[in-house]
Structure 1
Amino acid sequence: MIKVAVSGAGGRMGREVVKMVLGDEELQLVAAIDPGAQGMDAGRLVGAEPCGVIIADDLSSALLESGADVMVDFTVPQAAVQNTKIAIESGVRPVVGTTGFTRDEIDMLDKLAKERGIGGIIAPNFSIGAILMMKFAAQAAKYFPHVEIIEYHGDQKLDAPSGTAVKTAEWISAVREEFRQGNPNEEEKIEGARGGLYDGFRIHSVRLPGIFAQQEVIFGAFGQTLKIRHDSYDRAGYMPGVKTAVKKVMELKGIVYGFEQFID
């Protein structure tokens, strides 16, 4: 039985994680942390029977008192790095779906985890479909080097571009020789109209109410285009990946960046 703590339990993704843990016979919910829902029973929070886990407001003490093996974090970029650091220092393995980590922050956390002899997973996306989209895009970039990424999220998302878009760009850059595509004399009449520049190609972030999470990668060549797109409609679609990560992290040493490491 793997003992799980959920950081950000009151959030939309956090509530899905709580439901997933409560429904898996190999997992045990031992702590739930969210200052906005402090004092509530975690089971009642997600519309289930009371489970006896009362939501706490302090991560460090909750991890210490619960004896958690794994912390799952779906919070906000400003808190996730510190939450992950607290978990590692407490000997708890982090599984983090919050985006916005820099390479330096990941390297710092990796060093800390190795010093403690534990593993962790930081993944911009736990959706198997999204990871396949990224893999297919990287494969296509070998043959279609002219590419742009458009990602769509709700208007309350805090980071832009999304972690998935950045991860996709990293994969594409690994197989695409860097060059500045488009007209060299191009002029933006409105700043940012052409999106963000990454290794010579563009990433566009759309933020509108009513959108959940979509991304398309568009490749152009003479006389043809190729579009690779993934659409997410429900947060429950991420839970098979999160469940796999919670179980896999028990075998790791150091921080693994990207859930694709566990997909053949």
Structure 2
Amino acid sequence: MTIRVVMSGATGWVGKALIPAIVAEPDMQLAGAVARGAAGWDAGSAIGLAPIGVDVTATLEEALKGTSDVVVDYTKPVAVKEHALTAISNGRHVMIGTSGLGAADYAEIDAAARGNGVGVIAAGNFSITATLMKRFALMAAKYVPDVEVIDYASAKKPDAPSGTARELAEALADIRGASTAKPQSEVSGIPATRGGAVGEAPGVQVHALRLPSYILSCEALFGLPDERLTIRHDAGSSAAPYVGGTLLAIRHVVKIKGLVRGLDSLIEM
């Protein structure tokens, strides 16, 4: 079976790495590409490669006029939910690599996917090593209840926390024991400096740093009396780490119905 893929965010940081990877896979076919600024260009030419015979469209709706199976979205937080719901309503499976969505958004997407009989896979990070960071942190949380997350990203990143940190904190909040830290409501001074609680109440505190020179890093800090444990992932300047995980998700999403969150879920499958 050949999986026909529409790449939304074709000329973006990850899109530029994914398009040649999709074209090179024997069981995949690039069926469409979306990038408003490159509309009308050949998708290969738009990212600095040889033409590949697929035209870039300005909107996802235009790309969906053709035949396809999966929409891969690496666009912007303000657009991803609308894109996902549009693709689902048109009977396409969806792979979400864009961050910025919350639990309520994912619940709506899950309901729409189940209603239309399609699958959705969303992850804050499609890197294999970032997935291992999450896995190891969840293992630690079963034994060490005091944990907080620090989220590092560039000064220009529009959402906070990042999808990686948000997904990690939500998962940690589901399994860790009661924290010994003073509740934020009891903190004097400027309580907001304690970060934001993410996940089911009371949640896990997340601190988002936005500074030049960072690309994307995430660390979970655990504390016990007289000892600490830090589990951290650092992303480099290339989008290459996200390609393998995305291809894995494309192959899995056509086999499911409803929403699956996290690349670690696919590894378990």
After TM superposition, the score normalised by the length of structure 2 is 0.91
Residue identity in the other structure for 1:91: G
Kindly state the Cα deviation for residue 236 of structure 1 after the two structures are TM-superposed.
Answer: 0.8
Shift of 1:87: 0.4
Q: Could you say what the CA RMSD is over the residues aligned between the two structures, in angstroms? A: 1.8
Which residue is 2:181 aligned to?
181
Is 2:149–2:165's contact at 8 Å kept on the other side of the alignment? yes
> What CA deviation, in whole Å up to 9, does each residue of 1:163-194 have, x standing for no partner?
211211122112223446148864234x6322
Which of the numbers 206, 214, 218 marks the counterpart of 2:217? 214
Partner-residue secondary structure (3-state), 1:231: strand
Query: Is residue 123–residue 257 contact of structure 1 (8 Å, CA) maintained in 2?
Result: yes
Which residue is 1:29 aligned to? 30
Q: Structure 2: how far apart are the matches of 1:67 and 1:183?
A: 53
**Per-residue CA shift, 1:25-49, capped at 9, x if unaligned?**
2111111011111122111122221
- Is contact 1:188–1:194 with CA below 8 Å preserved after alignment? no
Moved over 3 A (4+): 182-186
Corresponding residue to 2:253 among 249, 255, 258: 249
Give 1:201 deviation, angstroms. 4.1
Aligned to 1:131: 131
Offset, 1:200: 5.5
Contact residue 181 and residue 200 of structure 1 kept, 8 A: no
What code does the residue aligned with 2:55 have? Answer: I
| Contact 1:181–1:201 (CA under 8 A) maintained in structure 2 | no
Alpha carbons 2:57, 2:63 under 8 Å: kept: yes
> Does structure 2 conserve the Cα–Cα contact (< 8 Å) formed by 1:148 and 1:203?
yes
Corresponding position of 1:54: 55
- The reply on whether 1:239 has 2:239 as its aligned counterpart is no
Alignment of 1:1-264 (within 5 A): 1-64=2-65, 66-179=66-179, 181-182=181-182, 186-189=187-190, 192-198=192-198, 199=202, 201-233=204-236, 234-264=238-268
Ranges in structure 2 where 5+ consecutive residues have no aligned partner: none
Distance 2:84 2:175 in 1: 31
TM score, norm. by length of structure 1: 0.93
SS at match of 2:156: coil
AA of the residue aligned to 1:124 = G
- Give, as a single letter, the amino acid of the residue that structure 2 aligns with 1:44: S
The sequence identity of aligned pairs, in percent, is: 37
Contact 2:146 2:179 in 1 (8 A): no
Residue 105 of structure 1 and its aligned partner are, at CA, apart by 2.0
Contact conserved, 1:42 with 1:52, CA < 8 A, in 2?
A: yes
- Structure 1 residue 148, shift from structure 2 partner: 1.5
